[in-house]
Structures are given as C-alpha cells and as structure tokens.
C-alpha cells in the first residue's frame, strides 16, 4: 500500500513537473543589433530577477537579432522567429511568454499579425500566450521623424533607435500608422491580437541630481531623456509619448500606479531593475 501511494505521489509530482516545465519566457530587445542583449541591453540583474517568476526559471531565452532593419526583414522578424523556434524545440515549450522593450513589441506584433508570412510563424503564434510590452513604440515616435528629417549620414538616435536607418524610418509616427492600418493587429479599429498583449507605459523622466531615484539605470541617461522629452508630449518617457506606448493591445499599468515610490519609468529604466519593475514582471508571468 505504502509503495503504491509513494509511486502515485512520485507520478503526480512528475506530471506536475512536466506540465509546469513547458512554460518558457523570451526577452526581446528593442532597436539595435544585439549580440549580447543579456548584458548590453537588459542586464543580468534584471533578467535573473524576472525569470524567477517562471515555474522553471531556467526555461528562458534572451533574443539577439538585428532590429536595425524593417520589422519584416529576415534579419529582424526572421531572426526572432528562428530564435523562438529553436527555444521552443530545444526546451519543449508549449506555452510561451514574451517580454519586449520598445521596437521589440512591433516585431512581435508583426509575427502575430501575419501568420502565413513565414512558415515558422504559425507554430510560434500557437505557443505565444502572453506578451508584456515594456514601453512599446506601437505608435512610433516624433524623435524618429526628427532624426529622419535631418537626413544625415548617421540617421541615428544612438541606443534609442540604433544606427540602422530602416528601423528609424519605420518608427516615424506616420509610417507606424501606415503599418498599423495595413499590416499589424492590435490597434484601434483593427482586429485584436489573439493572445494577451499588454503594455507597461512610462510617463515621465526624473533627472533631479539630488534624487537618488534618478540614478537607477544611469543618471546620464535620465538627463539625456529629459532633453528629448522636449520634443514630446508631457506624458512621455523621454522617447515615446504615452499615446504611442498604449496604442496596441491593452495597458497593464502606467508606471507610477504600481512602481515603488510611484516613480516613473524613463525609456531607459523600463528595461532595468528599477522601482520594483522586475518583481512586478516576476509576479505577472
């Protein structure tokens, strides 16, 4: 009898273990060509904290692709599709959760909205259950318009937009509107995305020298984003207006409503372990 119970318990544990072990998490960076996004884009501190929310914290991947290209480019969405396909296959993932930042949200929406564009997409779409888009550039940004208006050799907004001009061009407000209207789901008047796509909106930039919170993620970035905020609406994270960040899917929360100390997330801080963002994500996934 004892042996039977023991066997049953072991079996039940194994089944539970198997069921939970099929949930995977992918971190998808924003504009830029990444080869070590774990350290260069997100920080290990952030990733290692967030992934503790998984049933099996080892079932995660950090994507490295060339998001300086148009979102439909093989080196952008094609690379993302391959990375997710490899992860699903290698880890036996049956339920996939995604955390994106900035333009990464657009590339995910490209895949979710165009299931037959690439033979890898249908399986990925069937596995994706939940996307948390941190400060997504769903509606573009006037800063991209400002950069392209200059039409300079380096049409670059550096770490914000990357040196690749195609990604910068694509994120102009009028261009993102075009792609939202004809090629992407999830914005107003368009079909909904078939899995949860929720954004975290950053609404301000704090860069007071006497305020310790301004140093989270790097004080120099806060100062810089206060500069770029002059081109934007008062509700913005220094790179994106709140309206752009909330244009697709639903809004999970706007920074101050849930962050520690009601602190805002600048566009840089929304990919950092700042003001409890990591624990909010950990609990959400």
Partner 1 sequence: MKTSKTINQLSTAATLIAIAISCASHAQAKNDEATFYQWPSSYKTDFTKQNKKAYTSNEYWQVVTGAQLNKGVKVYLSDASTLVKLTPKARFDQGAVFKPQNLELNQIQLGNNLANKQQIVQLAAQKEMALAGFKDGSIALKVQNASLNAPSVLKYAQPLVADDKYIVHVKDKNSAFKLNVTAPLEIKKQFQPQLTIKAELTNKQFSNTDVSARLISPLGESVELKYNQGKIDFSNELAQLGAVKGLYQVELNVSVKHLANKIKRTIKVPFIQTAQTASILTTEINIESNNQGLINVNVPVSIDQEGRFAVKATLQGYSLNNQKVDIATAEVAKFLSHDENLTMPFKVSGLTKGPYSLSNIILTDQTRMMVLPHADTSKAIIELDKAW
What are the DSSP E strand ranges found in 102-158? Answer: 128-134
Closest approach of partner 1 to the CB of residue 145, in Å: 8
Among 56, 95, 223, 279, binds partner 1 (CB under 8 A): 223
Among 129, 130, 190, 284, binds partner 1 (CB under 8 A): 190
CB 174 within 8 A of CB 191: no
Choices 51-59, 60-68, 103-111, 148-156 (CB under 8 A): range interacting with partner 1:
148-156
Closest approach of partner 1 to the CB of residue 238, in Å: 8
Please, which residue, 12 or 227, has the CB nearer to partner 1? 227
Please provide the size of the chain in residues. Answer: 285
Q: Is 188 in the site for partner 1 (CB under 8 A)?
A: no
Among 134, 184, 224, 285, binds partner 1 (CB under 8 A): 224
> Helix or strand or coil: residue 252?
strand
> Helix or strand or coil: residue 131?
strand
d(CA 9, CA 282): 29
x/- string (CB under 8 A) for partner 1, residues 107-126? -------xxxxxxxxx--x-
Structure tokens at 237: 């994270």
Q: Is 93 in the site for partner 1 (CB under 8 A)?
A: no
> Helix or strand or coil: residue 86?
helix
CB 192 within 8 A of CB 122: no
Q: Is 95 in the site for partner 1 (CB under 8 A)?
A: no
Q: Is 129 in the site for partner 1 (CB under 8 A)?
A: no
Among 160, 200, 248, 274, binds partner 1 (CB under 8 A): 160
Backbone phi, then psi, for 249, in 5-degree steps?
A: 65, -145
CB 28 within 8 A of CB 107: yes
Token pair 């069937």 is found at 126
Q: Is 90 in the site for partner 1 (CB under 8 A)?
A: no
Among 21, 55, 56, 72, binds partner 1 (CB under 8 A): 72
Residues 6 or more apart from 240 whose CB is under 8 A from it?
102, 135, 136, 137, 139, 141, 202, 232, 267
Q: Which residues bind partner 1 (CB under 8 A)?
A: 70, 72, 74, 78, 81-82, 114-122, 125, 143, 145-147, 149-161, 163, 166, 169-170, 172, 174-175, 177-179, 181-183, 189-192, 194, 220-221, 223-225, 227-228, 230-231, 238-239
């Amino acid at each position: 009898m004892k042996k039977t119970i023991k066997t049953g318990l072991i079996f039940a544990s194994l089944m539970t273990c198997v069921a939970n072990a099929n949930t995977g998490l992918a971190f998808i960076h924003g504009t830029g060509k990444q080869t070590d996004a774990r350290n260069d884009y997100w920080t290990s501190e952030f990733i290692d904290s967030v992934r503790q929310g998984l049933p099996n914290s080892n079932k995660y991947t950090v994507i490295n692709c060339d998001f300086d290209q148009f979102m439909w480019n093989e080196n952008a969405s094609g690379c993302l599709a391959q990375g997710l396909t490899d992860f699903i296959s290698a880890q036996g993932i049956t339920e996939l959760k995604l955390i994106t930042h900035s333009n990464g949200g657009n590339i995910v929406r490209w895949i979710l909205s165009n299931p037959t564009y690439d033979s890898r997409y249908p399986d990925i779409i069937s596995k994706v259950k939940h996307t948390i888009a941190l400060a997504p550039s769903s509606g573009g940004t006037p800063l991209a318009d400002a950069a392209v208006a200059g039409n300079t050799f380096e049409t670059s907004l550096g770490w914000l937009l990357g040196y690749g001009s195609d990604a910068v061009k694509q994120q102009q407000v009028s261009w993102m509107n075009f792609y939202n209207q004809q090629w992407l789901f999830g914005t107003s008047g368009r079909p909904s995305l078939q899995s949860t796509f929720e954004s975290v909106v950053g609404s301000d930039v704090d860069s007071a020298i006497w305020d310790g919170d301004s140093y989270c993620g790097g004080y120099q970035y806060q100062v810089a984003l206060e500069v770029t905020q002059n081109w934007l609406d008062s509700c913005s994270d220094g790179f994106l207006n709140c309206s752009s960040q909330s244009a697709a899917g639903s809004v999970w929360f706007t920074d101050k409503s849930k962050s520690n100390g009601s602190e805002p997330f600048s566009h840089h801080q929304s990919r950092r372990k700042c003001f409890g963002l990591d624990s909010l994500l950990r609990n959400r996934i």
